[in-house]
Structure 1
Amino acid sequence: MFESAVAEVLLRLAVEVGFASVLVEPDQTKLMGTPKPHGDLFVHDFAAADLDEHTDVVMADHDRPELGDMLKQALEAQTRWIGVIGNPKKEGPHIAALKALGVPDDQIARVHRPVGLNIGSRTAAEIAIATLAGLIADRNNRPGGFNF
């Protein structure tokens, strides 16, 4: 969710490994200009994204004013997995945003932050790869890493 450099790479790679990928970008001005790859589908709201219990939601921008509202919708849709990209050393802004919307603590705890495997990601592509690898590991009930 949310157009960003990380979202662009994540959506493109997700298609390559068999995920149906949807970009939800409520701000239509964010996608003006040169067309970019956005996975299988691009929509402006969650209602059009058809979220369900099989859906993984990754918020690819933690500084958006819509973050709380969009996370609340993802939680209400009972999606399989929800995460917000961000620095693990700082409390995510999603916590205060969700509390302000009256979301219970047990539901807030469903939101993963940071997302992805700990590979020291710095670039958008590295963050996308770590995120996608983490989603694949979670779907396969694996911890990730090099222990088999």
Structure 2
Amino acid sequence: MSETCDVAHGEAEADPGVRTLVAVFASPVARHLLTFARELGYHVALYEPDPARATDGPEGVDAATTLPPLDASADVVVTDHHRPELGEVLKAALGGNPRWIGVLGNPRHPGPHVAALQGLGVAESDIARVHRPVGLNIGSRTPPEIAIATLAGLLADRNGRPGGFDF
């Protein structure tokens, strides 16, 4: 049996390395995203800059009103592209060193993050680091489905895979 099979059968521990997922903005998608990410071995954090909206995330995950430090192990997913803080939050995230940054949203509509970041004087090369849409195209509609599609896309990206059924 291969090492991969041993892990899949629970006979060996997976060693994915340190992985952190920071969900930005308390939302139903963020709750599911962090719940599922923790099951996948991520360290998880919820960043909600508005204290009035800061709610507990999944069990054991409290919302922080300051952005946690971001290093190359971190993936950042912004779960609400309608928030007025969008540009400032993304600018702060880009100022860290996360591995990946993405914003949820319908790919048929222009991403509001571009204008928000341009208005803050962020360089085009940094704006291009922000992914939108995120996740695999599985037709997800509900918060749990969106969370699964997002995490599947992050896993594919981390593992250098295209996602979908191409092997």
TM-score by length of structure 1 reads: 0.92
Q: Is the 8 A contact 2:54 2:63 kept in 1?
A: no
Contact persistence 2:57–2:63 (CA under 8 A):
no
The correspondence for 1:113, drawn from 129, 132, 142, is 132
Q: Which runs of 5+ in 1 are unaligned?
A: none
> Larger radius of gyration, structure 1 or 2?
2
Aligned to 2:117: 98
Give the match's secondary structure for 1:138.
helix
Give the fraction of aligned pairs with identical amino acids, expressed as a percent. 58
Q: Higher helix share goes to which structure?
A: 1
Q: How does 1:37-52 map to 2 (within 5 A)?
A: 37=58, 40-46=61-67, 49-52=68-71
8 A contact 1:72–1:103 mirrored in 2? yes
Q: Deviations over 1:51-110 (max 9, x none)?
A: 112210000000111110110111111211000000101111100000000001111011
**Conserved in 1, the CA contact under 8 Å of 2:54 and 2:64?**
no
Secondary structure of the residue that 1:57 maps to in structure 2?
Answer: strand
5+ residue gaps, structure 2, are 1-23
Rounded Cα–Cα distance in structure 1 between residues aligned with 2:61 and 2:164: 29
Aligned-CA RMSD value: 1.4
